[in-house]
């Protein structure tokens, strides 16, 4: 079972049915010409698992960083996305960290095990996709990520997937990968900040290494020789842009 396949299962979801939320005031956007799907929704307590991992680890691993949840399979620049928490008798709009990502309120604001997080989008019929965890330290250029941010984002993604599905727990637990799944991921597996690139450069103090995107042995998130403060720059060569 390849690491990339496992990451796809965690980040992109599996073929399980999403729970139907209570009626929401959002106007769900349906893609013209496609089969009607179901509301894009998740159990609030599952997303909280990712938030709890972030709250515990961020002070040491990513101080000052922000956690956000990117809507799956949505263009990052697409406008008009809305997300809210739906409870039995009320709704709480959530802040959008970007056009296609949202944040959760602090713990304690919502205390209801039946609460759902609902977006004004649809899943393809019969599918379920987790939000994509993003951890981002302030002050980074648009094409640069920080190693500690990527490590923490992967940890939070795994925690959320593990909480959601017995199927995930069974498959990953059987092969003993929950402990080291993130360590085996390369630096292009999660949280790449730009859509198009062919070169990856890692800088950590005086050490700098550059790799082609297609390189078979890109650095892994678990390589202790790279500190959490290492910067990863994703760039596109001028020839590739033409």
User: Tell me: the pLDDT tens digits for 104-115?
Assistant: 988 767 777 788
Read off the pLDDT of residues 5-56 as tens digits, 9 standing for 90 and up.
445 444 444 444 444 554 556 665 554 444 566 788 999 999 999 999 999 9
Q: What's residue 12's pLDDT? A: 42
Tens of pLDDT, residue by residue over 43-92, are 999 999 999 999 999 999 999 999 999 998 888 888 899 999 998 778 88
Coil, strand or helix at 148: helix
**Two tokens at 145?**
């990520």
Cα–Cα distances in Å, from 101 out to 53, 77, 161, 214?
Answer: 19, 10, 18, 28
- Cβ atoms within 10 Å of 47's Cβ, excluding its own: 24
Q: What is the percentage of the chain residues whose pLDDT exceeds 90? A: 47
Sequence-ordered list of residues with C-beta below 8 angstroms from that of 63, at least 6 positions apart, any chain: none
């Amino acid at each position: 079972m390849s690491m990339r396949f496992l990451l796809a299962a965690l980040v992109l979801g599996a073929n399980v049915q999403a729970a139907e939320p209570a009626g929401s005031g959002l106007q769900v956007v349906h893609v013209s010409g496609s089969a009607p799907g179901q509301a894009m929704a998740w159990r609030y307590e599952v997303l909280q698992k990712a938030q709890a991992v972030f709250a515990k680890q961020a002070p040491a691993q990513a101080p000052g960083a922000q956690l956000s949840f990117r809507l799956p399979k949505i263009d990052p620049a697409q406008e008009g996305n809305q997300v809210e928490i739906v409870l039995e008798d009320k709704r709480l709009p959530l802040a959008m960290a970007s056009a296609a990502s949202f944040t959760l309120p602090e713990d304690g604001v919502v205390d209801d095990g039946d609460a759902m997080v609902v977006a004004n989008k649809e899943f393809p019929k019969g599918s379920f996709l987790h939000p994509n965890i993003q951890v981002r330290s302030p002050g980074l250029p648009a094409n640069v990520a920080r190693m500690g941010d990527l490590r923490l984002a992967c940890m939070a993604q795994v925690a959320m997937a593990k909480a959601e599905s017995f199927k995930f727990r069974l498959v990953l637990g059987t092969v003993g990968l929950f402990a080291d799944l993130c360590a085996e991921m390369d630096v292009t597996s999660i949280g790449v900040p730009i859509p198009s690139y062919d070169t990856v450069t890692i800088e950590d103090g005086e050490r700098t290494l550059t790799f082609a995107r297609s390189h078979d042995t890109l650095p892994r998130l678990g390589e202790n020789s790279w500190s959490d403060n290492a910067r990863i720059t994703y760039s596109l060569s001028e020839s590739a842009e033409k």
